[in-house]
Amino acid sequence: MRGLPVNYDYDVMAIGGGPTGFIAALGLAQAGVKVCVVEAEDTIPDSPRAAVYHWSVLDGLDRLGIREEAERIGFVKRDYMWLVKKTGEEIAYDLSALEGYTAFPYNIHLGQHQLAGIARDRLLAMANADIRFGTSLVTLAQDAESVRVSLEGPEGTEFLACKYVIGADGAGSMVRKAVGLSFDGMTWPERFIATNVFHEFEAAGCALSTMVIDDQWGAIIVKLTEDGLWRCTYMEGPELPERTFMDRLPDAYQHFMAQGHGWKLDRAAPYRMHQRCAGRFRVGRVVLAGDAAHVTNPTGGYGLTTGLFDAYALWPTLAAIVLDGADPNLLDIYADDRRRIYLERTSPRATANKQLVFHAWGGGAKLERALEPLRAMARDRDACREGLMFVKSLETVSPVEA
Ligand SMILES: Cc1cc2nc3c(=O)[nH]c(=O)nc-3n(C[C@H](O)[C@H](O)[C@H](O)COP(=O)(O)OP(=O)(O)OC[C@H]3O[C@@H](n4cnc5c(N)ncnc54)[C@H](O)[C@@H]3O)c2cc1C
Identify the residue whose C-alpha is closest to ligand 1 atom 6.
50
Q: Are 31 and 314 in contact (CB under 8 A)?
A: no
pLDDT digits (tens, 9 = 90+) for 298-309: 999 999 999 999
pTM: 0.97
pLDDT digits (tens, 9 = 90+) for 196-228: 999 999 887 888 999 999 999 999 999 998 889
What Rg, from alpha-carbon coordinates, does the chain have? 21
Print burial letters for 128-154: b (CB count within 10 Å at least 16), e (below 16): bbbbbbebbbeebebeeebbbbebeee
Regions of the chain with pLDDT less than 50: 1
Pocket probe for ligand 1: among 169, 223, 288, 342, the residue whose CB has the most ligand atoms within 8 Å is 169
Identify the residue whose C-alpha is closest to ligand 1 atom 53.
49
Pocket probe for ligand 1: among 52, 112, 192, 295, the residue whose CB has the most ligand atoms within 8 Å is 112
Q: What pLDDT does 4 receive?
A: 66
CATH code for 10-77+104-185+275-355?
3.50.50.60
Print burial letters for 328-355: b (CB count within 10 Å at least 16), e (below 16): bebbebbbebbbebbeebbbebbbebbb
Q: Where are the domains of the chain?
A: 10-77+104-185+275-355
Closest atom, ligand 1, to C-alpha of 306: 11
Pocket of ligand 1 (CB under 6 A): 15-21, 38-41, 45, 49-52, 112, 136-137, 168-170, 174, 192, 194, 233, 271, 290-291, 298, 301-305, 307
Task: Tell me how far apart the alpha carbons of residues 345 and 125 are, in angstroms, rounded to a whole number.
Answer: 37
Q: What pLDDT does 26 receive?
A: 98
Give percent helix, percent strand, percent coil of the chain, each to the nearest 5.
Answer: 40, 30, 35
**What does the angle CA 366 – CA 345 – CA 337 come to, to the nearest 5 degrees?**
165
Closest atom, ligand 1, to C-alpha of 273: 53
